[in-house]
Amino acid sequence: MIDKDLYERWLAALELQKSQQKSGGIGTLSEKPVHAVIKYTVEPNDTYHEVRIGSHVADVVTEQGIVEVQTRNFFGTKKKLEALLEKGPVILIHPIAEKKQIFWVDEESGEVSAPKRSSKSGKPLDSFMELMRIRDLLAHPNLSFQVWMLEVEEYRFLNGYGKDRKKRATRYQQIPVELKEIHCYHELQDYLSMLPELPDPFTKKELMKAARRTEAWARYTLYTLEQCGLLHRCGKEGKAILYSFSTEE
């Protein structure tokens, strides 16, 4: 359930983004639309945006603490997070596209294709691809993590490989359309709620099948949870390593 006041701020931020999109977007640093709309949803008054704290600039500072919006590359923000966490409570917001309409843009002609619904559906568990990079911060008492599930329009350039020029093409822009859900994680144990239902113990293949995700995702996820002490290895099933949630060895 999304707080009514927050959702109203989301709608207002969307309208502001739409009205100013042609002039370079909202926000003092001309950030991407998803990043900007979330900031204006958290705090409509941009006086509290881009606030210098020590040698770093926080995205937003509220009565609840510092808010950082990170769409990707958590490794690049790790040192900043470490510094901010020493100052007080930090809410790290990670937006994920639950639903996505894809538009293809021809760079030469400027022609934009009709939208096509992506078959991929994002989930909070996709955060593990980034959480792995800040795994040693997840237990910090000042850190809260939020996943904002969005519906977006994604524009990609036709500059990739293959006959259709779509393979490994450049993603130009994501435009937020709707806020679907917000998932909050405050304690270390909360991160286990991202996982699908699993037997105990389980193998990497069972995790991949239950989550419908790749081996790379499963490897990052298992490593993160192991390093946080939320999983441990408890033997083998053939050649496959078994993982358990139990704290008993």
Which domains does the chain carry?
A: 4-194 (no CATH), 196-249 (1.10.10.10)
Q: Is the pLDDT of residue 196 over 80?
A: yes
Place of tokens 């966490």: 85
Q: Is the pLDDT of residue 23 over 70?
A: no
Per-residue confidence (pLDDT) for residue 27, from 0 to 100: 42
Lowest-confidence pick of 11-25, 70-84, 166-180: 11-25
* Beta strand 171-185 pairing with 232-237: unpaired
Cα–Cα distance for residue pair 115/152, rounded to 1 Å? 11
Cα–Cα distance for residue pair 243/222, rounded to 1 Å? 9
* Amino acid sitting at position 153: E
Cα–Cα distance for residue pair 97/118, rounded to 1 Å? 10
Give the count of beta carbons closer than 10 Å to the beta carbon of residue 167.
9
Per-residue confidence (pLDDT) for residue 29, from 0 to 100: 39
* Overall pTM > 0.75: yes
Q: Does 176 sit behind a cis peptide bond, omega within 30 degrees of 0 on the bond before it?
A: no
Q: Is the pLDDT of residue 28 over 80?
A: no
Among the listed residues 208, 194, 213, the one whose alpha carbon sits nearest the alpha carbon of residue 240 = 208
Per-residue confidence (pLDDT) for residue 31, from 0 to 100: 61
Cα–Cα distance for residue pair 90/37, rounded to 1 Å? 19
As given in the structure block, the two tokens for residue 37 are 């709309």
Cα–Cα distance for residue pair 108/153, rounded to 1 Å? 21
Q: Is the pLDDT of residue 161 over 90?
A: no
Mean pLDDT of 103-109: 88
**What residues contact 60, with CB distance under 8 A and at least 6 apart?**
39, 42, 43, 48, 49, 51, 66, 67, 68, 69
What percentage of the chain exceeds 90 in pLDDT?
A: 76
Q: Is the pLDDT of residue 165 over 90?
A: no
Lowest-confidence pick of 48-62, 99-113, 178-192: 99-113
